[in-house]
Amino acid sequence: MHAVYPLVLGALLFSIGLYGVLARRNAIAVLLAIELLLNAVTLNLVAFGSILRDQYGMGQVFTLFIITIAAAETGLGLAIVLLLYRQRATADLGEQRELAEPVERFDADELVPATELSTTEPSTTVLGAAR
């Protein structure tokens, strides 16, 4: 078999998974896309294991490990999503804006803005510290 086939397949699957991580809003959908990423990687590893056939059998052993870790990670990830859901009543990642910095209008001689914020989601904790 040409080595290109499994490797290109792995690359394409990885790109699909990358798109999914960046484009999905639900936390669980993101986790699903992460699984795609991991699968692409394992496919790559197994292909190289077949191509190179080294004495340690690294390709397939590592894949075994990755599957294990993926399972652990899924468990923990879902626990976190559950926590997120419990605190915010939503698993929507697009709505989480704590890391945001609002864009404010200053006058030339002001250190803090006198006017209100321009963003629509006021977060008093951030600006309470700034004032």
Partner 1 sequence: MNTLAFIALLLPAFGSAVTFIGGRDLRHVKFWSTAPIAAAFVATLLVALEHGTAGTSTHTYSIGTAGAFHVEIGTRVSGLAALTAVLVAGVALCVQAYSTSYLGGEPRYASYAALISLFTAAMLTVVYAADLIVLLVGWEIMGACSYFLIGHYWEKPVARAASIKAFLMTKTGDVPFLFGLIALGVQAKSFQINDVIVAADNAALHHPAWIAALLLCGVLGKSAQFPLHSWLPDAMAGPTPISALIHAATMVAAGIYLVALLYPVFVLAPAVLVAMAVIAAITMLGSALCALAQTDVKKILAYSTVSQLAYMLGGLAVGGRSQAIYLLLVHGAFKALLFLAAGVVIHRVGSNELSAMGGLRYRMPIAYGSMTVGLLALAGIPPFSGFFGKEGVLGAAYSASGEFAAPGRIVLIFGLITAGVTAAYALRLWLGVFHGPFPEAPHEHEARVEAPQTELIPLVLLSIPAAALGVVVLFGTGFSHVLGGWSGEAGSLLGSGATDLWPTGITTLLSLLFVVGFGGLTYLAWRRDRQADPAVMLLGPARGLLLEGFYFDRLIDAGVVRPTRAAAKLVAYLDANVFDAYVRGSGTGARDLGSVLRRLQTGSVQFYLTCLFLGVVVMAAVYAYVGTVS
Partner 2 sequence: MTHSYLSPTGVEIAFVLVGLVILGSGLLVVTIKNLVYAALWLVVCMGSVAVEYLLLGAELLAWVQVLIYAGAVIVLFLFGLMLTKAPIGPTEELNVRNRWPALLVGLGAAGTLVTVVVQAYQHTWFDPRSSVSLGTGRSLGTQVFQYWVLPFEVLSVLLLAALVGAIVLSRRQRDSEEAEA
Classify each residue of 15-46 as buried b or exposed e, where b means 16 or more C-beta atoms within 10 Å of its C-beta: eebeebeeebeebeebbebbebbbbbbbbbbb
Going by C-alpha positions, the residue among 108, 124, 104 that lies closest to residue 116 is 104
Going by C-alpha positions, the residue among 38, 118, 22 that lies closest to residue 74 is 38
- Which residues are near partner 1 by CB under 8 A? 18, 21-23, 25, 30, 93-94, 96-106, 108-109, 121
Q: Considering CB distances under 5 to 8 angstroms, the limit depending on partner class, which of partner 2, partner 1, none binds residue 97?
A: partner 1
Q: Considering CB distances under 5 to 8 angstroms, the limit depending on partner class, which of partner 2, partner 1, none binds residue 103?
A: partner 1
Q: How near is the Cβ of 99 to partner 1 at its closest, in Å? A: 5
CA–CA distance, 53 with 29 (Å, rounded to integer): 36
- Which residues are near partner 2 by CB under 8 A? 1-9, 11-20, 22-29, 31-33, 35-36, 39, 42-43, 46-47, 49-51, 53, 56-57, 59-61, 63-65, 67-76, 78-83, 85, 91-92, 94
